Amino acid sequence: MFSGFHRLKDMGIMGINSRNLDFIAPHNRRQYYRLVDDKVITKKTAIEAGIPVPELFATIEYQEQLKRLGDILAQRSCNQFVIKPAKGSGGGGIMVIKGRTAAGYLRANGQVITLPEIQYHISNILGGLYALGGARDVAIIEQCIENIDLFDKLAFQGVPDIRLVIYKNTPVMAMLRLPTLASGGRANLHSGGIGVGLSMDQGMTTNAILHNQYITHHGDTDAPLLGHIMPDWDQVLDIGVKAAHMAKLGYVGVDIVLDKHHGPMLLEINARPGISIQIANRQGLKARISSMGL
């Protein structure tokens, strides 16, 4: 561990303090955070800017509306949807419904859940349980992403997403995040998801990490992780740049999902993107940025 004291700097690795002071503080203005912190606003702005996003089915703003939740869900006659907090962070509070059974709704992990349980979950979201600072929040019900064949092969349940780090409107680093059994369908690395580094030129998987350890195969599916090429890579990069531009932020993380039928779509924008992406790519962000001449 101590042998790495100088190496970190030599490798151009970005620490949290440096990310906050040297990248976020000078390039991200507070006033623009609202757009990315609230997923409802992100979605609306993205539609105006012509960026594809998962379709919004409904928003729940008041406890009152919960009584009609059954009707709202039935109206859509859609059995697949995702419930998430508008201001959530770190993938908290996301509930994926994959279908309906006689007993109730079927979650992505196979668990059957009743309508009152869904109502309770949404009421927790409204109370601000998952929001930054515990402020009141709004629940979003949106289209459930249908995985492309490649992702069905790679991921264990859940929806993988591609995280792009965009600096000064240029994509500098990319990572594919795969849910695992342990991460409970979530793709976030600290929930136990797998991070896979992607080459910037064609979106090819290069290294994979799980809990800061390098791996080559998915532990749950045994699928080999390296050497795959992301489909529609140019479109992915294009969405990333457009989203960063739209958010008016100089240093952002853009999360993009790939839908079987609709192609790449913007999921959310993060004004404080994590630094683990460096491990997945085996390269420091500072080194990457300076090598790109930014």
Partner 1 sequence: MRNKEILLVVSLLTLIGSAIFGYRVFVLDFPLTPNKQVESWHVEMKATLGGPSGSLRLEAFLPRRDSFHTLVDENFVSNDFGLTTQKDPETGNRVVSWSKRNASTQEILFYRGILYETHSANSSAARTAPVITVPQYKTAEFNALRKERVDYLGLGSLIDEIQDKSIDQRSFALELFSFIDANPADNRLEQIQEMNPNLTSLAATEVFILHHVGIYARVVNGLPLKQAKRHASFEARTEILLDNKWVQYNKQTRSLGENRDFLRWWVGNVPFYTVTGQHNATLNIAVKKHTENALTEAMWRGDPTREAMYKLSIFNLPVDVQLVFSILLLVPLGAIVVCVMRQVIGIETFGTFMPILVALSFRETKLLLGVILFCLIVSLGLIFRSYLNRLQLLIIPRLSAIMIMVVLALYLFSMIAYNTNIYTGLSISLFPLVILTMLIERISLSWEEFGAQTALKAAAGSLFVAIVSYLVMNNDLLSHLMVTFPELLLIAVAMTILIGRYNGYKLMEYYRFRMMTQPTDSAPKD
Q: Which residues bind partner 1 (CB under 8 A)?
A: 1-5, 7-9, 11, 13, 15-18, 20-22, 90, 92, 116-117, 120, 123-124, 127-129, 182, 190-192, 207, 209, 212-217, 278-279, 282, 284
| CA gap 69, 81 in Å, rounded | 13
As measured in angstroms, the least distance from the Cβ of 264 to partner 1 is 27
* Nearest to partner 1 of 50, 227 (CB atom): 227
Closer to partner 1 by CB, 120 or 152: give it.
Answer: 120
Parallel, antiparallel or unpaired: strands 139-143 and 263-270 = unpaired
Say which residues have a Cβ less than 8 Å from residue 213's Cβ, sequence separation at least 6.
Answer: none
Instruction: Tell the smallest beta-carbon distance from residue 206 to partner 1 (Å).
Output: 11
Minimum distance from CB of 281 to partner 1 (Å)? 9
Instruction: Using the minimum distance from each CB to partner 1, give the nearer residue, 61 or 232.
Output: 61
Of 77 and 213, nearer to partner 1 (C-beta) is 213
State the Cα–Cα distance between residues 144 and 154, nearest whole angstrom: 18
Those residues whose C-beta lies under 8 Å from the C-beta of residue 150, and which sit 6 or more positions away, are 228, 230, 231
Quote the least distance from Cβ 148 to partner 1, whole Å: 26
Number of Cβ within 10 Å of residue 48's Cβ equals: 9
Q: How far is the CB of 126 from partner 1 (least distance, A)?
A: 9
Q: Which is nearer to partner 1, 3 or 77 (CB)?
A: 3
Q: How far apart are CA 197 and CA 174, in angstroms?
A: 6
**Residue 15 beta carbon to partner 1: minimum distance, rounded to whole angstroms:** 4
Q: Which is nearer to partner 1, 190 or 248 (CB)?
A: 190
For residues 8 and 294, which CB has a smaller minimum distance to partner 1 in the complex? 8
Q: Residue 276 burial (CB < 10 Å; 0-12/13-18/19+)?
A: middle
> Least distance to partner 1 from the beta carbon of 149, Å?
25
